[in-house]
Amino acid sequence: MKRHTAKGLLILMGLVAMAMPAQAEELKSLRGSRDLAAGSEPPEINREISDDRPIPRNYVQQPPLIPHKTEGYRIDRNYNKCLSCHSWANYQQAKATKIPPTHFVGRDGKELANVSAARYFCTQCHVPQTDTRPLVENEFEPVKALK
Amino acid sequence: MLESTNKKRFKWGPYLFGGVAGMVLLAAFLGELHYSATEKFCISCHEMEANVYMEYKETAHYMNKSGVRAICTDCHLSQHLVQKVGRKVKAVNEVFQHFKGTINSREKFIEKRLHLAEKVWAEMKANDSRECRSCHSAKSMDYTKQSKRAMEQHIKGDDEKKTCIECHKGIAHKLPDMQTIDPSAVIGI
């Protein structure tokens, strides 16, 4: 019994040793064959689209996208930089789009006098765009209602 | 004869001493004026370092594409000697408030923030944003190189004789609670 085990172990070790070089060649990490020490290639830095021209929507319920830079625009309890142009009091002076009445409805459906806290953090839905290519090639097309 | 010349001889001593002492004092004064206008000096107070300085570090006046920086005194201290000294005299109150501990915690600072900001805004409005304009000259500003939005607003601002600070508030620091200034842009209930 003991001898059998030893023999089996020896054969197994031999098999593993034979398989080793082939395995080492086939094994590839997700980062490719790049040397660990060489580091990875930094992603391209994308520029925000900032031509102030409305970006077409892809579906009817889509929150409109932001066609300008928003770097440094703070939204906090004290002040909302977006609303300094897009609020009802400011949009005419700033020649901006005003926020729709849907943003004055609380989550319980109650109409409010000022912008709802649930709608206050603009960038949860509205985002700026960059001029980058899609990460995955696709054949996405807007819905027919928007064509 | 010899005695009388001795008596009448001009004495240089006091004048020389006065001159040297005057020069030393002037050098000390100018040196102090220079040192107290450095960033290092401004943020040697906890109130400045922990609040306004930390916020400013996130803004374009600290870091931007061309690497030109504006330090505290570029915006908050005049380059003209008379106004500069005048501001230094006013700063005596700030030193007093520092030792009194008026804004020695974040909570106290936030509490006082609107009052402090309004004082700076009023000052800048009164002097037609003088310190802004020491870098941002209206004559050298090419509106056609700006975004459409910026160009339109600047032309409108010029027509309405507005000064920089009236629109550009909170560009180097966070804003205070703006409820009293623009309630349409503050969180509702």
> Does the residue A14 lie in any domain?
no
More confident of the two residues B8 and B184? B184
CATH 1.10.3820.10: does it fit domain B17-177? yes
A130, A47 contact by CB (below 8 A): yes
Verify whether the Cβ–Cβ distance A78 to B189 is below 8 Å.
Answer: no
Q: Is A79's Cβ below 8 Å from some Cβ in B?
A: yes
Rounded to a whole number of angstroms, the distance from the CA of B132 to the nearest CA of chain A is 19
pLDDT given for residue B9 in this prediction: 79
Tell me if residue A61 falls in helix, strand or coil.
Answer: coil
pLDDT over threshold 70, residue B189: no
Verify whether the Cβ–Cβ distance A83 to B185 is below 8 Å.
Answer: yes
Cα–Cα distance for residue pair B138/B158, rounded to 1 Å:
10
Q: Which long-range contacts (CB under 8 A, 24 or more apart) does A86-95 make?
A: A86/A122, A87/A115, A87/B182, A87/B184, A87/B185, A88/B184, A89/B182, A89/B183, A89/B184, A89/B185, A90/B182, A90/B184, A90/B185, A94/B153, A95/B149, A95/B152
Q: Is A105's Cβ below 8 Å from some Cβ in B?
A: no
Chain B interface, best mutation among A84, A90, A108, by max B CB count within 10 A? A84
A18-52 pLDDT, tens per residue? Answer: 656 555 567 777 767 777 777 777 878 888 888 88
pLDDT given for residue A37 in this prediction: 77
Domain edges within chain B: 17-177
pLDDT given for residue A16 in this prediction: 61
Verify whether the Cβ–Cβ distance B176 to A95 is below 8 Å.
Answer: no
> Nearest-CA neighbor of A99 among A112, B9, A142, A107?
A112
**B151 → chain A, closest CA residue:** A94
Q: Is A89's Cβ below 8 Å from some Cβ in B?
A: yes
> Does the residue A22 lie in any domain?
no
Cα–Cα distance for residue pair B91/B96, rounded to 1 Å:
9
> Does the residue A28 lie in any domain?
no
Beta carbons within 8 Å of A33's beta carbon, 6+ residues apart: none
Cα–Cα distance for residue pair B157/B175, rounded to 1 Å:
21
Q: Is B184's Cβ below 8 Å from some Cβ in A?
A: yes
Rounded to a whole number of angstroms, the distance from the CA of A114 to the nearest CA of chain B is 5
| Domain tally, chain A | 1
Verify whether the Cβ–Cβ distance B182 to A88 is below 8 Å.
Answer: no
Verify whether the Cβ–Cβ distance B177 to A77 is below 8 Å.
Answer: yes
**AA letter at A147:** K
pLDDT over threshold 60, residue B58: yes
pLDDT given for residue A147 in this prediction: 77
B143, B151 contact by CB (below 8 A): yes
Please report which confidence band the pLDDT of residue B4 belongs to, taking 50, 70 and 90 as the band edges: low
Q: Is the ipTM of this complex over 0.90?
A: no
pTM attached to this predicted model: 0.79
More confident of the two residues B10 and A63? A63
Cα–Cα distance for residue pair A128/A48, rounded to 1 Å:
7
Query: What is the CATH classification number for the domain harbouring A63?
Result: 1.10.1130.10
A87: number of Cβ within 10 Å: 22
Taking chain A, what is the end-to-end CA distance rounded to the nearest angstrom?
78
Q: How many residues does chain A have?
A: 147
Beta carbons within 8 Å of B188's beta carbon, 6+ residues apart: A104, A112, A113, A114, A115, A116, A117, A120
Range of the domain at A121: 49-130+140-147
